């Protein structure tokens, strides 16, 4: 094929599976899709979306009951269908009428495991004019990334409970840590640190090697052995408890952090608060060579459902991540640029909002979405 022809040949449309989910999920997803539409127009790419109703409401309507397992939250057919898409865009999981753990395991954890989304990527960035609860810290101080291992540790479900409900009750939960799992996560983090624009070029391993000597040892050895391939990156280590302290005291210290599944779960909620709260924090469940899923970090927020007051910024930021990461994965610069454009539109919008808290934004959910979509177009 002639070079010119190859260049002008249209790429296949980007195919996005959308799972609006529960509570305020559908409301914020709608605004993320609005930003997508604007970005596609300006950046000139084509896309298709298909909606999957894997909500808690559907699970209940089908007779789902924790005491009677058998009703799946996501069906095998849906998993097979999801696998044909380029990315998944998730609103929220969580329904107050479903027992804890069912939707989390049945949807989020199942997809993480079955799609081997072994990275949980959490950019922690304080956008302009977003109030930060840390005294004296501004956007120049809070700009780091947490790379959380997403398929191992205490999330695998190994362990069990014996004699439940009796005085003899015993429960165990295995911290399943493999060299393979730690190594691939660490390697991803080193690569990310290398391509990130920050001049710090430092990767911090976060664990608890003073107590979890077995799993910690595996992480520590993998970190330093893989690290030999990255002489340009400074290697740093924090215990997880100390890391929580530094997040509050010296967030400007960090560049990229790599950590185990549960430690990552905990520190990224702390990180979300210092970047302005759950209204703005977005994350990605990433399979670097497969299908990834992007979501706002806030839950389904049942008490705000249907009121038009929830902040869609996190969901829009998740869409920006979806475009960027899918672009990197497919080697498609247009998508990467579209993602950056949506992020810039978010940065242009947050200063216009009164607050990032639900109900206090000075705008409705839809209005914030309109402002971002307009900013995407103005950025052209």
The residue ranges that bind ligand IPM (CB under 6 A) are 104, 108-109, 265
Between 265 and 370, CB nearer to Mn ion: 265
b/e 293-331 (16+ beta carbons within 10 angstroms → b) = bbbbbbebbbebbeeebbbbbbbbbbbbbbbbbbbbbbe
Separation CA 152–CA 149 (nearest Å): 7
Q: For residue 162, give the H/E element and its range.
A: strand 159-162
Answer with the entry of Mn ion, ligand IPM, none that 370 interacts with (C-beta below 5 to 8 A by kind).
none
Distance of CA 240 to the CA centre of its chain: 20
From Mn ion, ligand IPM, none, interface partner of 108 (C-beta below 5 to 8 A by class): ligand IPM
**Binding flag, residue 265, Mn ion (CB under 5 A):** yes
With contacts defined by CB under 5 A, name the span among 49-57, 91-99, 201-209, 261-269 that binds Mn ion.
261-269
Task: Find the shortest distance in angstroms from Cβ 265 to ligand IPM.
Answer: 4
Least Cα distance to 56 among 304, 299, 365 occurs for 299
Minimum CB separation from ligand IPM for residue 139, in Å?
A: 24
Q: What share of the chain is helix, strand, coil (3-state, %, to 5)?
A: 45, 20, 40
Q: Report, in angstroms and rounded to the nearest whole number, the Rg of the chain calculated over CA atoms.
A: 21
Cβ nearer to Mn ion, comparing 41 with 265: 265
Please report how close the Cβ of residue 101 comes to ligand IPM at its closest, in angstroms: 8
Instruction: Establish if 51 lies at the interface with Mn ion (CB under 5 A).
Output: no
The answer to whether residues 260 and 177 touch, using CB atoms and an 8 Å cutoff, is yes
Q: Which is nearer to Mn ion, 65 or 265 (CB)?
A: 265
Q: Which is nearer to ligand IPM, 53 or 265 (CB)?
A: 265
Helix ranges restricted to H, the chain: 3-8, 25-43, 56-61, 76-82, 102-103, 110-114, 179-195, 213-227, 240-249, 261-274, 313-330, 333-349, 365-378
Q: Which is nearer to ligand IPM, 108 or 282 (CB)?
A: 108
Least gap, CB of 120 to Mn ion (angstroms): 9
| Part in contact with Mn ion (CB under 5 A); list of ranges 13-21, 37-45, 265-273, 323-331 | 265-273
Map tokens 């520190």 to a residue. Answer: 267
Residue 104 interacting with Mn ion (CB under 5 A)? no
| Least Cβ distance, residue 321 to ligand IPM (angstroms) | 14
To Mn ion, the closest distance from the beta carbon of 105 in angstroms equals 14
Q: Which is nearer to ligand IPM, 186 or 282 (CB)?
A: 282
Shortest distance (Å) from residue 139 CB to Mn ion: 24
d(CA 268, CA 257): 10
Q: Which residue is nearest to Mn ion (CB)?
A: 265
What are the residues binding Mn ion (CB under 5 A)?
A: 265
């Amino acid at each position: 094929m002639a070079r010119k022809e190859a260049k002008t040949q249209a790429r296949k449309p980007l195919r996005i599976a959308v799972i609006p989910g529960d509570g305020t999920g559908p409301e914020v997803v709608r605004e993320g899709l609005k930003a997508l539409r604007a970005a596609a127009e300006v950046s000139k790419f084509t896309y298709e979306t298909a909606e999957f109703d894997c909500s808690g409401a559907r699970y209940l309507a089908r007779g789902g009951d924790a005491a009677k397992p058998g009703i799946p939250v996501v069906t095998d057919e849906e998993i097979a269908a999801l696998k044909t898409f380029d990315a998944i865009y998730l609103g929220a999981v969580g329904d107050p009428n479903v027992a804890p753990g069912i939707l989390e395991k049945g949807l989020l954890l199942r997809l993480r495991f079955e799609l081997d989304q072994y990275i949980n990527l959490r950019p922690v960035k304080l956008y302009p004019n977003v109030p930060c609860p840390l005294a004296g810290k501004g956007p120049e101080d809070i700009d780091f990334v947490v790379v959380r291992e997403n398929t191992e540790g205490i999330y695998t479900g190994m362990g069990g409970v014996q004699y439940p409900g009796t005085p003899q009750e015993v429960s165990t939960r295995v911290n399943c840590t493999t060299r393979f799992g730690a190594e691939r996560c660490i390697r991803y983090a080193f690569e990310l640190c290398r391509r990130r624009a920050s001049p710090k070029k430092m990767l911090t391993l976060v664990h608890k090697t003073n107590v979890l000597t077995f799993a910690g040892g595996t992480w520590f050895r993998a970190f330093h052995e893989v690290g030999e391939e990255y002489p340009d990156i400074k290697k740093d280590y924090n215990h997880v408890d100390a890391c929580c302290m530094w997040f509050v005291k010296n967030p400007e210290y960090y560049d990229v952090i790599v950590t185990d599944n549960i430690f990552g779960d905990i520190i990224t909620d702390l990180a979300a608060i210092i970047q302005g709260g759950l209204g703005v924090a977005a994350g990605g469940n990433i399979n670097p060579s497969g299908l990834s899923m992007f979501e706002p970090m806030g839950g389904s927020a049942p008490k705000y459902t249907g009121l038009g007051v929830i902040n869609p910024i996190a969901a829009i930021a998740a869409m920006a991540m979806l475009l960027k990461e899918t672009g990197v994965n497919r080697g498609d610069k247009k998508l990467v640029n579209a993602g950056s454009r949506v992020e810039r539109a978010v940065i242009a919008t947050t200063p216009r909002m009164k607050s990032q808290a639900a109900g206090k934004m000075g705008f409705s959910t839809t209005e914030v979405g309109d402002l971002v979509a307009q900013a995407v177009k103005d950025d052209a």
